[in-house]
Amino acid sequence: MGSFSIVPRGPYDLAAARDFAGGFAPGLGGHATGSSTTSLLMAFPVEGWQHSAALDVWQDDAGLIHAQVDGSADIESVRAQVARSLSLDHDGSGWPEVGRRDPVIGALQSEQRMLRPVCFYSAYEAVTSFVIGQRIGMRQSAKVKRWLADEVGDAIEHGGHTVHAFPRPQRLLELEMVPGISAEKVRRLHGLAQAALDGRLDTAALRALPERDALAQLRELPGVGPWTAQAVLMRGCGTADTLPLDDTISRAAVHSLYGLAESPDDEAWLAIAERWRPYRMWATVLLHLSWRRRQETPPSYRQVRTA
């Protein structure tokens, strides 16, 4: 077992992150420990793809984030993926200023406890999750990912329980079929797994590229169109200032929460978003989440997106 700590830069509430996650990403969900401290259980393949990790993450009274890790001795890589997943790899000290410049964002920050986005553990987990979810419902997608974790994901003993991570890419390549998805989608997953092994889904490398180049590289992958490429860059690589102009739900959130007479075109949305820099992705996720939670029947992603 290993451990590490992270000192958040700027305000941070792990409980808000746990509530936001709610099973959103494979292996990610909240649970209570034996103490009064609220913790987050995480499990994922560690980039480099030699092993997987399972860990509890919690926040102490002073605001520091701590983790206990099983399954991997590469604590620095695990720490980097956790920090990126929880948006703790960015300096968030300027995030409250966005709310002061923009009262809409300020009200949502207060409502959502200064929430920062919770991202996937890697570009690989993001793109496989989005491709699995294309043209099927969220429940079916979650069921497929659970099956994959149980069947070929690493089993890690952690806290007296066995935790299953999403499969490492080499294990995903072993599967000839996956219940609940088509043979064509399985072939796409094989292509994504091979891309990860070839280094074409290296999260840090993608994030270091200019946005246009990163999106172009992602769109070369099987099953990845404009929407998916942008989603992977934002929610797999954790780019804090990306604006998802291809996301219809986020555009609808801007339309509704800013009380606009009509849906904003790109120019209008970009003008509003100038006030959000350098956290345009964070602000968009806050708007997106808040708008969806206000809907009696939240729209299905498969109804509003293209690959």
- pLDDT tier at 27 (50, 70, 90 boundaries)? very low
**Are residue 135 and residue 72 in the same domain, yes or no?**
no
* CA separation for the pair 34, 284 (Å, rounded): 35
What is the predicted pLDDT for the residue at 79?
Answer: 98
Residue 118 lies in a domain: no
The predicted structure's pLDDT at residue 30:
36
Which of 72, 93, 114 is the last residue before a domain boundary?
93
- Give yes or no: residues 89 and 25 share one domain: yes
Residue pLDDT, tens place only, 133-155: 999 988 899 999 999 999 999 99
pLDDT of residue 32: 36
pLDDT of residue 138: 85
- Same domain (yes/no): 144, 206: yes
Is 252 part of any domain?
no
Q: Please report whether residue 57 resides in a domain.
A: yes
Do the domain assignments include residue 132? Answer: yes
Whether 54 and 153 share a structural domain: no
Average pLDDT over residues 204-219: 97
The verdict on residue 208 lying in a domain is yes
What are residue 43's DSSP bridge partners? 54
pLDDT at 297: 59
pLDDT at 300 exceeding the cut of 80: no
Query: What is residue 288's predicted lDDT score, i.e. its pLDDT?
Result: 93
Structural domain including 127 reads: 123-235
Residues 130 and 221 in one domain: yes
At which of 181, 212, 235 does a domain end?
Answer: 235
CATH classification of the domain holding 87: 3.30.310
Looking at residue 93, the DSSP 8-state letter turns out to be T
pLDDT at 280: 97
Contacts of 302 by beta carbon, 8 Å cutoff, 6+ apart = 133, 134, 135, 136, 137
Whether residue 56 is contained in a domain is answered as yes
Read off the pLDDT of residues 214-237 as tens digits, 9 standing for 90 and up.
999 999 999 999 999 999 999 999
The answer on 215 and 145 residing in a single domain is: yes
Residue 22: which pLDDT band, with cuts at 50, 70 and 90? low
Mean pLDDT of the chain: 91
Residues 88 and 127 in one domain: no
My answer on whether 52 and 148 are in the same domain is no
Q: Verify that 161 and 75 share a domain, yes or no.
A: no
Q: Are residues 23 and 84 in the same domain?
A: yes
Q: What is the pLDDT of residue 298?
A: 56
Residue 261: inside a domain: no
CATH number at residue 175: 1.10.340.30
Residues 68 and 21 in one domain: yes
Residue 275 belongs to some domain of the structure:
no
Mean pLDDT of 194-220: 97
| Interior/surface letters 199-236, b for 16+ CB within 10 angstroms, e for the rest | ebbbbeebbeeeeeebbebbeebbbbebbbbbbbbbbb
184 CB-contact burial (10 Å; exposed 0-12 / middle 13-18 / buried 19+): exposed
Confidence of residue 299 (pLDDT cuts 50, 70, 90): low
Confidence of residue 36 (pLDDT cuts 50, 70, 90): very low
The count of structural domains within the chain is: 2
Boundary residue ending a domain (212, 235, 258): 235
**133 and 208 both lie in a single domain:** yes
The CB density around residue 294, as the number of other CB atoms within 10 Å, is 11
Among 190-194, 242-246, 271-275, which stretch is predicted with the lowest mean pLDDT? 242-246
pLDDT (tens digit per residue) in 59-105: 999 999 999 999 999 999 999 999 999 999 999 999 999 999 999 99
